[in-house]
Amino acid sequence: MHSDAKGLIVAIDGPAGAGKSSVARTLAERLGYTYIDTGAMYRAVAWLGLCNGVVGDEEGLVRLAADMKFEFVRQEGVQRITVNGRDITGEIRTPEISRLASPVSAVAGVRKQLLTLQRRLGEQGDVVMEGRDIGTVVFPEAQVKIFLVASIEERARRRWLELQDRGSDVRFELVLADMEERDKRDSSRALAPLRPAPDSVIINSDDKSIDDVVHEIITVCEGVMPKC
């Protein structure tokens, strides 16, 4: 059943592993909104950079970001990600791409190219957009801003289980170390650092189900809708 919350831009930010993707996807379904995963866009640029041998070349990455045709495609009820017509949904979820996406997202020219696309995708409203800087940079005017957090141990555990499900035998300690390093990079970078907007509602997802968190956010959404 859809909520009565209509016409909103819902921005969900937070660190890796906090549950943003699962929560945002479920929330969008409940609201009847479009789900936009901005992190997938940076992963797509990282994937293109790896394929083209320009991971360390900022100018090369910017050119790839400017030229790529990125689309969210819904197939049989599942949202897929295509770049230049190729489905890369699974290819951008590897540990290697996860490591590359953070430094790629710190490249000013890449962020500029993707910012334009993100704003175009979300400007009509009825969207749930998740990432690292949605409420602070992409849509500071969003009516609902959520900053989702969880302990680093819990976030690493979730990511480790996700990788296990995909057949990876990576050790938990390595996942935890990678997450600690990524947190440090994301929070300390000069350009669009990871931080909550002043008017964000901060939700801790430790010991909460996806439905619990989604219910909290829907309550926030309904609270900002004008009363007739």
- Each residue of 173-203: pLDDT tens digit? 999 999 999 888 888 887 788 899 999 999 9
Name the residue ranges covered by the structural domains of the chain. Answer: 1-33+125-223, 38-123
- Please tell me whether residue 103 adopts helix, strand or coil conformation: helix
Count the Cβ atoms, other than its own, within 10 Å of residue 173.
10
Whether 3 shows a pLDDT value over 80: the answer reads no
The alpha carbon torsion through 181, 82, 23, 43 (nearest 10 deg) reads 10
* Alpha carbons 71 and 168: distance in angstroms, whole number: 27
What is the fold of 1-33+125-223?
A: Rossmann fold (3.40.50)
The confidence band for 146, taking pLDDT boundaries of 50, 70 and 90, is very high
Alpha helices in the chain (DSSP H): 20-31, 38-52, 58-67, 95-105, 108-122, 152-165, 172-188, 210-224
Report pLDDT for 30: 93
The confidence band for 228, taking pLDDT boundaries of 50, 70 and 90, is very low
Q: Please, what CATH class does the domain formed by 38-123 belong to?
A: alpha beta
Report, as an integer, the average pLDDT of 211-220.
Answer: 97
Q: If we measure between CA atoms, which residue out of 65, 33, 46, 69 comes closest to residue 143?
A: 33
What is the helix, strand, coil percentage profile of the chain, to 5?
50, 15, 30
Is there a common fold for 1-33+125-223 and 38-123?
Answer: yes
Mind listing the pLDDT tens digit for each residue in 9-58?
999 999 989 999 999 999 999 998 989 999 999 999 999 999 999 998 99
The model's pTM is: 0.83
Whether 1 shows a pLDDT value over 60: the answer reads no
